[in-house]
Amino acid sequence: MADDRPVPLDEYPVHQVPLSMKHVATGDRNAYDRCIFHVFDHEGRALLILGLGVYPNVGVIDAYVTLRTGDVLHAVRASDALGDDRMHLAVGPLRIEVAEPLHRLRLRCEDNSLSCDLTWTAEFPALWEPHHVQYRGDRLTLEGRRFVQAGGVEGVIRAGDEEFRVSADGWTGTRDRSWGVRPIPGEEGGRLAEAHPTEGFHWIWCPVRFEDRFLMVIVQEDADGYRTLNEATVVRPGHRDRQLGWPQAEITYRSGTRHPERALIHLGDARKPQDLEVEILTSSPLALGAGYPPADDWQHGTWRGPGWLDRRTYDLTQPAPLAAYGVTDHAARFRLDGMTGHGIFEHGSFGRHDPSGFTGFDSAAP
């Protein structure tokens, strides 16, 4: 019989439905609640990605940290049974401490192969992303609420014989916080998936930190270019958020791939059209180490038994076929209206995408 006594979070007036905070309002096994942080220097020497998620209807908590330096990707992943204290954001050697909500967080990994102790401090208010909904036929496959934020980071990162002293003047930190329903492994697609195969998916997610403002750009398009998600907003403290219309991206890919080398994003501000220049510094495929589909060694929300811990090192000079069918996070330098900023150019393009000239899953840039 399940233990359904109150949990610590039930002490607080935060309930949305007449359930304990141990439970979520949906019985969908794909319910999730998680975060991702990007920490990177402005020269492209290092890109650290750290995340933690809980999956209440399958009873799993897991976390990961990856670090790209040169052509090596270090990864530490941990998973365990989800406990009752949802304010204890820790699994294995990974821990997130909320020192001041929406402003200051501490990111820690205490492992001999890859460790970090970082203080992330927001420099701009958090921005809601558009409500994210996806269907396959009549089946709701994804519904998420998310906010994004950018700031400075201080602390230390160690991997092998390398050590990076992280300071706010030479490093940038972005984060995304989301919850809702999102596919996790273990559920067959069924007849709906057979009747509604995925033809194509095109995605850009781009948080950029400038000295005095924060810019967020999101583009999601179907195979024919129909846009299902759109965002281009500038956040400045003390000012009303400014919308920049319908972003249009020109991406230059490495020949024979869909790996972007640079991009130009046209921002549709009616008062003053602007171009956002994107210079890729270094890249980290989320299918390697970070547990995003179509990773074949570990994915989020999968039960690996109590106290599971895994360490990996990936040689990025070697072909990684799965990475070509997953989203990749690129640390990048951005230029806009005479300003230089830094952020993440997250991109994935799979299958057909008519505006880019891709005709199918085996299509690549000339």
Report the 10 Å Cβ neighbour count for 355: 13
User: Helix (H, G, I), strand (E, B), or coil: what is residue 226?
Assistant: coil
**Cβ neighbours for 283, distance < 8 A, ≥ 6 positions apart:** 47, 68, 259, 328, 329, 330, 331
Helical (H) or strand (E) element with 276: strand 274-285
Do 73 and 196 contact (CB within 8 A), yes or no? no
Q: Tell me the one-letter amino acid at 79.
A: S
More confident residue, 248 or 160: 248
The residue assigned the tokens 């596919």 is 183
Nearest to 201 by CA among 146, 150, 149, 142: 142
The pLDDT of residue 3 is above 80: no
pLDDT tens for 242-259 read 999 999 999 999 999 999
Give the pair of three-digit tokens for residue 103: 């402003």
3-state helix, strand, coil in the chain (%, to 5): 5, 55, 40
Give the pair of three-digit tokens for residue 18: 């007449």
Residue 9 lies in a domain: no
Structural domain span for residue 40: 31-356
2-6, 173-177, 196-200: range with highest mean pLDDT:
173-177
Q: How far apart are CA 150 and CA 126, in angstroms?
A: 8
Dihedral of alpha carbons 13, 16, 19, 25, sign: negative
Residue 2 lies in a domain: no
The pLDDT of residue 2 is above 60: no
Q: How far apart are CA 157 and CA 361, in angstroms?
A: 37
Do 229 and 218 contact (CB within 8 A), yes or no? yes
What CATH number is associated with residue 44? 2.40.370.10
Residue 365 lies in a domain: no
% of the chain with per-residue pLDDT over 70: 98
Residue 16 lies in a domain: no
Residue 25 lies in a domain: no
The pLDDT of residue 149 is above 50: yes
Residue 23 lies in a domain: no
Report the 10 Å Cβ neighbour count for 10: 15
Q: What is the mean pLDDT of residues 332-346?
A: 97
Q: Residue 187: what pLDDT?
A: 74
The pLDDT of residue 1 is above 90: no
Do 69 and 43 contact (CB within 8 A), yes or no? no
Helical (H) or strand (E) element with 195: helix 190-195
Q: What is the mean pLDDT of residues 56-82?
A: 97
% of the chain with per-residue pLDDT over 90: 88
Residue 154 lies in a domain: yes
**Cβ neighbours for 338, distance < 8 A, ≥ 6 positions apart:** none
Q: How far apart are CA 40 and CA 47, in angstroms?
A: 4
Residue 366 lies in a domain: no
pLDDT tens for 16-61 read 999 999 999 999 999 999 999 999 999 999 999 999 999 999 999 9
Overall number of domains in the chain: 1
The DSSP-derived string for 353-366 is BGGGTB-STT----
What are the phi and psi torsion angles at 324 (to 5°)? Answer: -70, -15
Give the pair of three-digit tokens for residue 271: 């008062």
